[in-house]
Each structure stands twice: as structure tokens, then as C-alpha cells.
Amino acid sequence: MSSPYPPLVPTPRVLMGPGPSPVAPSVLGALAMPTIGHLDPQFLEVMDQTRDMLRQVLETKNALTFPMSGTGSSGMETVLVNLIEPGDRVLVGVNGVFGTRMAEVSKRAGAEVTVVAGEWGRALDAEAFTRAASGKKFQLLCAVHAETSTGVLQPLDPLREVADGLGALLLVDTVTSLGGVPVRADERRIDALYSGTQKCLSCPPGLSPVSLSEAAEKSLAKRERPVQSWYLDLSLIRNYWGADRAYHHTAPINMIYGLHEALRLVLEERLEPRFARHEKNTRALWGGLEAMGLELIVPKAERLVPLTTVRIPDGVDDAAVRRFLLDELSLEIGGGLGPMKGKAWRIGLMGHGSTRQNVTLCLSGLSAALAAQGRTSRVGDALAAVAAVYD
């Protein structure tokens, strides 16, 4: 009747997909620290330190900054349901999975959603937002800073200008940018953002940092009805993470330990050197892939450093390549989503995983996987292109 399985012994992987990314040993160690009470004075200090470090990584002074007790999508839902009341107008840029999801979540929150549709694999043009708004006022302008489904980095400054013109708050998905490319929440006047822990912060999935500007907090204060979600109601969670410590839910203690350590590592490295490391390793990857004759989907100026999308050459078996990498090298890369399914690979160089070693392994592995399908690839050229970046 009672049949437990044997204990888990997962085979370690080199994680070069769209996330989770490789986790530093000290972060795994932090996860295994002794669980203590969520109202223990020791833990309250952990919460305060975590918020403080999160603000440093976000480059913000926003009071309302903390990790939500759920994965990245819970952060998306949090900022949307807190800032939307039924009937509010919301303008959403959609050029990938996560913009699509923001539109869906906004609709479920009762918003009147206007979609600014763009090509998958390209950034959105600010003028397209202005056109779609057609002179109306909006409560929110939503965009994805780093589209994990396509590998596009969305320029935010032009959208901030558009939002100002529409009287809208600027709400941004920073799931795959935070910790890998500059987010600079205050400088860019982002009003609301959410992120994930399992991308460039290199912490396991399970938490979603959120941050709201003063203007967004004012919008919260003016709500006429309660937020539809009790679990994600920021007016309650603010009092739990704040000086009141008013009980709301039990924080996921060990996950917070992990995030604390992950943020510590980011700040020890310092932001600018970390961004430079990400950029250098990804430039090497791009050079290597192109030297192998593979095509990158996103134009260079719009590429997202932590995540690269590569067009799968005609006739190459997507699943077989990924299986080869996983089985032979214990190396994970991602497949495409939505219209890119079967047509693109997604290669992540995020956080702890952004290393020359991983660039080298991935290029050599892809070459071997293609060879297994009878394709030649110029792996020597690829490695020479990589070397050139580090010389």
C-alpha cells in the first residue's frame, strides 16, 4: 500500500536553456540552511537584507520592493491585478509569449486591453504604441523588457515617453533581464516590474521579485475595490514585509535564503562587471554560432544578451539535437515556443552560467549534434571566433 520511491539523485546538467540557469554552489548551500520561523527575529533580518539587496540590484529606491511567494508568473499577475480595476484601459505590447500572457492576465482582471502586436523576434516600435492608443488615456502601458520566448531586448526609454503622453504607468517584465543586463528601475522611471529568480540571478525558480514606484503606490491607494486576489494583494503583503510584520502568509523561508545568497553574489561581483561578463560571453557565443554558419533570429541591435535564439537549419531534427546534447553532454538548451516551435533553439548564458567554458561546450556540442545528423559545421572557425573575443 505505502510505496515510497527511492531518494532523488538528479544527474547534474549544464543549464543553457531559457531558465532555470545554473545555480552557484553557495546558493544551493543556502537553500539547505536550517529552516527557522518566519517571525523569528533572525528571519526578519533576512527579509530586510533581501529587500535591501534587491533594491540595489534593481537600482531603485522603491519602498514597495520584495519577492512574491510564487514563480515569475505570479509576479506578473501581482502587478497587473493590483494596478487594474475592472474597466481600466491597458495597452500591451505583444511580440512573444510573455506579452501575450500579460494581455490575457489583464483581461481576466477586467481590463479593456488594447494589443500592440509586433513580429516575434523583433523589438516593438514606440510609435506603434502611440498609434494603437489612438488618443485615448490608459491606466497601464505594459511591455516585456527581455522576451524569453524570442530573445529580444525591448528599449524602454521611448515607451516611457509614450506612457507619459497617455497618462499611463509603465509596467515591465524584467524576468530575463534582471542581473544580466541593466534594468535601472529608477533612472528609466519604471512604475511596476516583476522578475524571476531562475534567470540571471541564478537562484532556483520559486520567487518573483516585484517593485512599484511611488506613482504606482498612489494608484494602489486610490483603488475603489479590493484586489481580486487575496494572495497577491500588495496592500496586505506590504504590511507583512514591512515594519508591521502583519501575518499574511508564511514566507518560503529556504527559498528566501537562496535568493539572499544569489543577490549577495550579484553585489559581490558588482553590477557593471556582471553585465560586462554577460555581454562578453554572449558576444563569443554569437561569433561562434555565426562562424558555424548558423543564423541568429534577432537583428544584432535588438538582441537580448542573456538569451539567444538560433534558427534551426532546414532539415535538421530539433528534438534529436536537443536529445543528443542532453544525453551525451548533459547539456540543456531550449526549444522554441509558439510560432518558433521546431524552428528555433534558445540558448541561455545567464548569471552563474555565463562562462567561456559554457560557450565552448555549447558550440562544440552543437557541432557534434549536427555531425550526428550528417551535417558538417565549421567548429574550428567557431572556436577561433570565440578565442578572438577573449584575446
Residues 288-347 that bind a copy of itself (CB under 8 A): 326, 332, 337
4 contacts a copy of itself (rule: CB under 8 A): yes
Query: Which of 196, 198, 189, 231 is CA-nearest to residue 210?
Result: 196
Query: Which of 190, 220, 189, 212 is CA-nearest to residue 82?
Result: 220
260 contacts a copy of itself (rule: CB under 8 A): yes
CB count in 10 Å sphere of residue 272: 9
Are 305 and 181 within 8 A, CB to CB? Answer: yes
SS (H, E, C) 75-106: HHHHHHHHHCCCCCEEEEEECCHHHHHHHHHH
The minimum distance between CB 34 and a copy of itself, in angstroms, equals 4
Q: Determine which residue in the list 261, 289, 366, 385 makes contact with a copy of itself, applying CB under 8 A.
A: 261
The minimum distance between CB 391 and a copy of itself, in angstroms, equals 29
Q: Determine which residue in the list 200, 253, 344, 379 makes contact with a copy of itself, applying CB under 8 A.
A: 253
Q: Determine which residue in the list 74, 82, 282, 308 makes contact with a copy of itself, applying CB under 8 A.
A: 74
Residue-wise burial string across 29-62, b where 16 or more C-beta atoms lie within 10 A, e elsewhere: ebbeeeeeebeeeebeebbeebbebbbebbebeb
- Neighbouring-strand partners of residue 366: none
51 contacts a copy of itself (rule: CB under 8 A): no
Q: Which stretch binds a copy of itself (CB under 8 A): 88-96, 257-265, 357-365, 381-389?
A: 257-265
Q: Determine which residue in the list 13, 189, 277, 356 makes contact with a copy of itself, applying CB under 8 A.
A: 13
Single-letter amino acid code for the residue at 192: A
* Rounded distance between C-alpha atoms, residue 132 and residue 114, angstroms: 7
When the beta carbons of 292 and 312 are compared against a copy of itself, the nearer one is: 312
Please report, for residues 177, 187, 227, 281, 326, the alpha-carbon distance to residue 202 in angstroms, rounded to integers and kept in the order given.
12, 24, 31, 16, 20
* Rounded distance between C-alpha atoms, residue 15 and residue 308, angstroms: 14
Query: Which of 197, 219, 201, 217 is CA-nearest to residue 209?
Result: 197
The minimum distance between CB 116 and a copy of itself, in angstroms, equals 20
The minimum distance between CB 388 and a copy of itself, in angstroms, equals 31
The minimum distance between CB 278 and a copy of itself, in angstroms, equals 16
The minimum distance between CB 80 and a copy of itself, in angstroms, equals 9
H or E element, residue 242? none
What single string gives the DSSP state of each residue in 322-340?
HHHHHHHH-EEEEE--GGG
The minimum distance between CB 383 and a copy of itself, in angstroms, equals 26
Q: Which stretch binds a copy of itself (CB under 8 A): 13-21, 129-137, 307-315, 365-373?
A: 13-21
When the beta carbons of 218 and 245 are compared against a copy of itself, the nearer one is: 245
The minimum distance between CB 291 and a copy of itself, in angstroms, equals 27
* Rounded distance between C-alpha atoms, residue 334 and residue 276, angstroms: 24
84 contacts a copy of itself (rule: CB under 8 A): no
77 contacts a copy of itself (rule: CB under 8 A): yes
Are 21 and 262 within 8 A, CB to CB? Answer: no
Q: Which stretch binds a copy of itself (CB under 8 A): 186-194, 263-271, 308-316, 366-374?
A: 263-271
Cis peptide before 20, with omega less than 30 degrees from 0?
Answer: yes
When the beta carbons of 25 and 299 are compared against a copy of itself, the nearer one is: 25
The minimum distance between CB 118 and a copy of itself, in angstroms, equals 21
263 contacts a copy of itself (rule: CB under 8 A): yes
Q: Which stretch binds a copy of itself (CB under 8 A): 49-57, 300-308, 369-377, 382-390?
A: 49-57
